[in-house]
Structure 1
Amino acid sequence: MMLYFSKILLATPYGHLTSTDLHSDKNLHQREVLYSPPQIDPPRISNSMVAFIVMGFLLWTHAVMADFNWTAYNMDSNNSKFYNAPPCPLASNNLGWNALKNQDGTYYTTNKRPVVIMYDSWDSAQLNAFLGQYILEAMGYRVQMVQRINYELGIEFYNDVVDLEFEIWLQDLGASFKQITQTDKVALNLGAIGYNGNYGLYIPSYLLDDHPDWNLDFFRFLYNPLHTSIFPASGTGPRLIINGQPLCDDLPGLCINATYTPPQCKPPSTRRCIELFHYDPSFATGIFQRMIDGLDLPVTLTFLGASTAEGFFREALQRREAVFMMAIVPTVFAADANLTRVLFPGNNPTQYAAFLKDSSVPLTTEPQSSLLQKLGSRRFSRDFPELETLFTKYLLPEDQINLMLKNMAVNGWTTRESSCDWFKKSQDVWGTWIPPVPKSVGEYHLFIFGGSLGS
């Protein structure tokens, strides 16, 4: 079926389409053609005409979005029902943006198209995304929440179908981030999110109380057989078997039979090695294996599964056992558990640059903290210029993200509930990000899902 429109601007899930004649088949390919609208004398357009046109395009766009193939752009939209959190209204909304009106009497923010926020599956990413939803809804904007399907970055920006993304790990997606923000310039770098992400090695803090003179928070304790004697010997800890098979296998240098065993822990060596419990070889891939090699640590790696490792960790902590573990910050587990990070020599960028080129290069320093970033699309910049300042100023302190994560553990809350609780109690923090409300919208505009037909 062909659709024909003449001399209009449309804002759809595909971005803005402009043309004197827009022809669209069922795939609705995106086109942008420079178009100068005819001069319109604003007073001649009645409010009833505005309402009629707006309603028509609302209905048309709703039909288009129902058929929009979100998954083609690495987005799970819940069958176009989206993953929005329930409303989280403020007891007293004094932001002012939700009351701002266009000259035709319609509300400025509500009359724009929805802001599309894509988030990743882990808790801290969800907390930020839902906080973004709550702030925008308090300002009167409509929001659509979608989940990332594959842990990849780019296609949604090249096709201009997303607006905002939070907590981008440069350690994982740095190459794609640089490509889309600096080389191809299809995304806008909105700056740091306010806290860093870390992969680190930890022990329970109670071990420091039990052995105050052993300096267990510094990696050199691993060379002292007396100090390592309290930890499980290699091969004696828990194992995860899935359908009779190890979690990972046949990955030389990374994982054989769900473990990594360095030469110093194999015959003919008689050194006593201890187990370091890890999630999955896809997390911080190769880093801790090469640190074990480079520092000649009497340590083997045991992989317990991305979704099951923390269950093993929590049981060990409840029994006050000595356990040496890899942990990820920020997470609910790290925020709730009383852990102490074991310090290693500080990150050497030159060393890690060589490691990125050759994953067999030994490492003698710990991984660098990942600078977590925010991204906006060209479409977001074009359709919501008033919001760029907000999300550039959006900086969530480390103690506040940890507070939300800890509340999830202590209160049994979901990410939606914890984010809502923080949103209601912390306007003194996020309220400073909100731009001042203009006295008026200014020149006459006809807004159709965020687009303007001219002035």
Structure 2
Amino acid sequence: MKSRKNLLRAATATAAVLAVTGLSACGAAKTDSSSSSGGSDTVTIAVPSWVGAEANGAVAKYLLENELDTEVELTQLDESVAIDGLNSGKVDAVLEDWGGAPDKIKRYVEDKKSVVEGGDLGVTGHIGWFVPKYLVDEHPDITDWENLNKYSDLFRTAESGNKGQLLEGSPSYTTNDDAIIENLDLDFKTVYAGSEAAQITQIKEDYKAKKPFITYWWTPQWLNAQVDLVEVKLPEYKEGCDADPKKVACGYAQTPLQKYFNADFAKDGGEAARFLKNFNWTAEQQNEVAAMIADKKMSSAKAAETWVKANEDVWKAWLA
């Protein structure tokens, strides 16, 4: 849903335990709390609740189990909770971190050294506010934040009352949007769809009906190949402009998404740890798997199998 690195509200500390095959645009599941760093042969990968992260986990699981004969458990955890899991050893790997818990990363990586960096995922993430292209065609200046109040009435809903609605996704996602609205004196209100899947449904419905909408959104995201959205230019992000959660008045940064491992797993995890360190793919490749899951309604396992069979030239390098 970047950079969550620069997002200033801590993610909701809740973990859902879900069946892998029962998910569409959400994360996969874990069936017990064992961890390879705690003595089990099972590798535990945390999966945040957006489909791009589910795609990472599904492909990693398929290859670890079928190429390295390593059992994998996927557990859906919000970003901040997943980092705590790495520290405690209940989680071995996080494959897509947007930097939403920088204080914890510093504490565990630099101070306690219980968590280690796993390198780039290969995907650069970016968060922003987006409107549909057909609305920009009608109101070309709507892409400048300084003109948003002029159009706020276009975005009013029952939920937002006399303010314009800024559509959000899951309440567990970290976001600066309330602070941005307040500090830029915008006549808008954040309204949460409840999940990535619900947000996508709303976007698709509004887009089909050519209704005006403005939404918190991100790249990479598979839906961007199906709907033409244009980013609204918020004040330019500069390092440190989001340092105080209450004073944020800038847009979001471009963020290379990172992997993190439990330190014991990184040291003693053998082939599995080396494989996950090598796991690196493009936004286009991630979106391909994500679209199979969320749009074509494949199970995570089937989507991973389909992609793996068609892309041996990509993943063979991860096994080196």
Confirm or deny a common fold (TM above 0.5): yes
Give the distance between the partners of 1:157 and 1:325, measured in 2 at CA: 32
Give the distance between the partners of 1:193 and 1:390, measured in 2 at CA: 12
Partner residue of 1:318 out of 190, 193, 208? 208
User: Match of 1:352, SS?
Assistant: coil
Give the distance between the partners of 1:280 and 1:77, measured in 2 at CA: 16
Partner residue of 1:189 out of 80, 105, 117? 117
Match of residue 97 from structure 2: 168
Match of residue 384 from structure 1: 269
The answer as to whether partners of 1:123 and 1:415 remain within 8 angstroms in 2 is: no
How many residue pairs match? The answer is 287
Partner residue of 1:202 out of 115, 118, 130? 130
Give the distance between the partners of 1:84 and 1:423, measured in 2 at CA: 22
The answer as to whether partners of 1:198 and 1:329 remain within 8 angstroms in 2 is: yes
Match of residue 259 from structure 2: 374
Pick closer, same or farther for the CA change 1:381–1:276 going to 2, 3 Å: closer
The answer as to whether partners of 1:199 and 1:327 remain within 8 angstroms in 2 is: yes
Pick closer, same or farther for the CA change 1:278–1:115 going to 2, 3 Å: closer
Match of residue 4 from structure 2: none
How far is 1:218 from its partner?
Answer: 3.4
How far is 1:316 from its partner?
Answer: 1.0
How far is 1:184 from its partner?
Answer: 0.7
Match of residue 21 from structure 1: none
Correspondence list, 1:417-436, <5 A: 417-435=302-320
TM-score, normalised by the number of residues in structure 1: 0.55
The answer as to whether partners of 2:64 and 2:71 remain within 8 angstroms in 1 is: yes
When the two chains are superposed, the root-mean-square deviation of aligned CA atoms in Å is 3.2
Pick closer, same or farther for the CA change 1:320–1:132 going to 2, 3 Å: same
Match of residue 143 from structure 1: 71
Match of residue 191 from structure 2: 303
1:401 aligns with 2:286: yes
User: Match of 1:180, SS?
Assistant: helix
Bigger fraction of residues in helix: 2
Q: Letter of the aligned partner of 1:318 in structure 2?
A: K
Q: Letter of the aligned partner of 1:430 in structure 2?
A: W
Partner residue of 1:218 out of 131, 141, 144? 144
Give the distance between the partners of 1:145 and 1:275, measured in 2 at CA: 38
Match of residue 347 from structure 1: 237
Partner deviation per Cα, 1:53-78 (whole Å, 9 max, x = no partner): xxxxxxxxxxxxxxxxxxxxx79598
Q: Letter of the aligned partner of 2:143 in structure 1?
A: D
Give the distance between the partners of 2:278 and 2:309, measured in 1 at CA: 19
How far is 1:368 from its partner?
Answer: 2.2
Correspondence list, 1:273-284, <5 A: 274-279=164-169, 283-284=173-174
The answer as to whether partners of 1:187 and 1:377 remain within 8 angstroms in 2 is: yes
Give the distance between the partners of 1:291 and 1:421, measured in 2 at CA: 42
The answer as to whether partners of 2:165 and 2:191 remain within 8 angstroms in 1 is: no
Partner deviation per Cα, 1:86-145 (whole Å, 9 max, x = no partner): xxxxxxxxxxxxxxxxxxxxxxxxxx9333333233322221111111221232322131
Correspondence list, 1:39-50, <5 A: none
Unaligned 5+ runs, structure 1: 1-73, 86-111, 240-258, 266-272, 436-455
Give the distance between the partners of 2:250 and 2:29, measured in 1 at CA: 41
Give the distance between the partners of 2:265 and 2:155, measured in 1 at CA: 54
User: Match of 1:117, SS?
Assistant: strand
Match of residue 15 from structure 1: none
Pick closer, same or farther for the CA change 1:219–1:385 going to 2, 3 Å: same
Partner residue of 1:293 out of 178, 182, 192? 182
Pick closer, same or farther for the CA change 1:77–1:116 going to 2, 3 Å: farther
Tell me which structure has the larger Cα radius of gyration.
1
Give the distance between the partners of 1:364 and 1:118, measured in 2 at CA: 32
Pick closer, same or farther for the CA change 1:280–1:117 going to 2, 3 Å: closer
Give the distance between the partners of 1:275 and 1:116, measured in 2 at CA: 39
Match of residue 46 from structure 2: 118
Match of residue 232 from structure 1: 154
Pick closer, same or farther for the CA change 1:289–1:381 going to 2, 3 Å: closer
Give the distance between the partners of 1:142 and 1:233, measured in 2 at CA: 50
Match of residue 35 from structure 2: none
How far is 1:423 from its partner?
Answer: 1.6
The answer as to whether partners of 1:219 and 1:343 remain within 8 angstroms in 2 is: yes
The answer as to whether partners of 1:203 and 1:342 remain within 8 angstroms in 2 is: yes
How far is 1:282 from its partner?
Answer: 5.2
TM-score, normalised by the number of residues in structure 2: 0.76
Give the distance between the partners of 1:154 and 1:137, measured in 2 at CA: 24
- Tell me which of the two structures has the higher relative contact order, counting C-alpha pairs closer than 8 angstroms and 6 or more residues apart: 2
Pick closer, same or farther for the CA change 1:427–1:184 going to 2, 3 Å: same
Give the distance between the partners of 1:118 and 1:413, measured in 2 at CA: 21
Pick closer, same or farther for the CA change 1:433–1:233 going to 2, 3 Å: closer
How far is 1:422 from its partner?
Answer: 1.7
Q: Letter of the aligned partner of 1:219 in structure 2?
A: W
The answer as to whether partners of 1:127 and 1:416 remain within 8 angstroms in 2 is: no
The answer as to whether partners of 1:117 and 1:143 remain within 8 angstroms in 2 is: no
